[in-house]
Structure 1
Amino acid sequence: MSSIDIRINQINTAVTVIIVVVSLINFILGTIGLLFNLLVFTRRSLGHEPCSLYLFSSTCFNLFVIIVIIPVRIASEGFNIDLGNYNLIICKIEFFTFYIIRTIPCWLIVLACFDRYLHSSPRAYIRQISSYKTAKISIGITSIVIIILHIHMPIYYEISNSVDQFGNITPGCYGRKGIYRTFIAFWSTALYSLCPSFLMLVFGLLTFNNIRQTRQVLPRIPQTNQITRRRDIQLGRMLAAQVLVVIIATLPISIYRLYASFTLSLTKDIFRLAVENLAYKTANALTYFAHSTSFYLYTLTGTVFRREFFKIIRKYRHPNRTNFVTARVAIHQISNLRNNQPITIKRTG
């Protein structure tokens, strides 16, 4: 065996190890964290915030990514076990569904950034657009639009033979050769990474500008609005942390796809194919951090989120104590109501 063959085997082994290790980390962290997200975002203090609804909906889609897509990708990219490489119907459904489910959460974060921009506007009529009802409608429209924008995938995806990282000719589920394969590389990169990241940054800067203008116009905030403002600031920090991780996690795969589309017509030897496969699989594995780390980011950056999470922990650790405190509060409220009731004197005769 030549030195080139040894290096290729080492690269291929590294690919399998990276995929399995990184995917398992994302699976464990994501499953635990996203389930806690669902519990926290359904709490009363956060449940009626439009920004919370966007983050809650994003969590639901991310949970599908972690529980369904990651195990399928571990089997496919780590051990070359994928029914979609041999069955055309599974091929079309798998890629169509997976692309949609992974893209929607990124755009929901964009909507959350847009909501923060509206909510921070110094103009009252713009702030009124930010509402729970608007968030529901926006989530539905965005999901439908993303499905429509990917509707070409079941039509043009097919099973074709290609040279893998081992130098073997194997079947795989890919876009149709030619212009469409270049198009889908740019299309998926733009929808999944470049456009959402750009819009997140734009709305983030606009929100910062709104906050600066508001501070200049209203340097002192009334006491009654301080709690609401504090909660808005916490949600903004949580969202900013999420945006930063989404950009960092999805940027490498965007760079690789652009590189692959520009070098598609070049003749490549087995060693270069192995190196490119390592780069692609590593970059693709990193994208799952954008879907699995939100709970930990929210806990670190959001006081209001952290407080609600600790309330849930205390509730399940000491359920009797929680019920006792709730009962005491209820009795205290009833007693205050009775003491505040006016005394009526009945006159006889």
Structure 2
Amino acid sequence: MNAPFPETVSETEKLPLTVLIAAPRGFCAGVDRAIEIVERALERYGAPVYVRHEIVHNRYVVDGLRAKGAVFVEELSEVPEGVPVVFSAHGVPKSVPAEAERREMIYVDATCPLVSKVHRQAERQIEAGRHILFIGHKGHPEVIGTFGQVAEGDMTLVETVEDVAELQVPAGKQLSFLTQTTLSVDDTAEIIAALTERYPDIVAPKAEDICYATSNRQAAVKEIAPKADLVLVIGAPNSSNSLRLVEVSERCGTPAKLIQRGSEIEAGWLKGVETLGLTAGASAPEALVREVIDRLAELRQVEERPVVTAEEKMVFKLPRQLTE
């Protein structure tokens, strides 16, 4: 019986592989802020610090914070008395901080400021007497949090262009629309076009709700995907912005795979691949990018080529209670 072919080969046998590394990639300002909030809360209050929902959608990040003393739960009811709790970057319904205050809990809100901006827009649209059509993915924490800013029935979810034709909206109500911050730029544009065609008087947000980091990372993939035989996207399967990067590559005609760690890469994936595109979702740290490149270097002679399509300098302030 033949021995299995080894996955690692000698340097002399390795085929060359050009790796186009997208920039920007990885952590955005909101993710950086959320992780620092948990770390500072641990420094200030000591372990354990509870976190409602994964602080960001990345197992490597979550496991690292767990090792420092963070405890991740899904509901506030799981948090014992007398310990601090952090709300995730995705945002929470108004009922969550209200319950924390009722229980006199120490809590820190790590909601991304760009998500908070959408929350405030939702409140203003309702105050103006409008019904909101919200473009997003059912069940995503950000969508749940945004719906939780207004009364039940004040907002209707729209997931696809096909949904627009099926909409039944309150009679006599002016309409407005808002969007989840981590959507596909192209898909969202198609849905907005369908909404404005059906409802010409619908009120748009003053600025696009899809966040700068989501837009930038998708634009970077549009640049590298046509030049690559395969694109690898580092991100979690429950990360909306990472899944959108896979879709963007495939829409460009280039197959893409979503991976969480370098160890997932199989030698067979690189068969016939001379140029590989590499990016990371907004919740994936740079350490995982290096890990993936190291894994590729075990299999091929790697030449790294950064492809820069934008520069990001956004920084969000930390909550005052952690800086005073």
Q: Which structure has greater strand proportion? A: 2
Q: Is this a same-fold pair by TM over 0.5? A: no
Shorter-chain TM-score category? under 0.3
TM-score w.r.t. structure 1 length? 0.27
**Which has more radius of gyration?**
1
Q: Which structure has greater helix proportion? A: 1
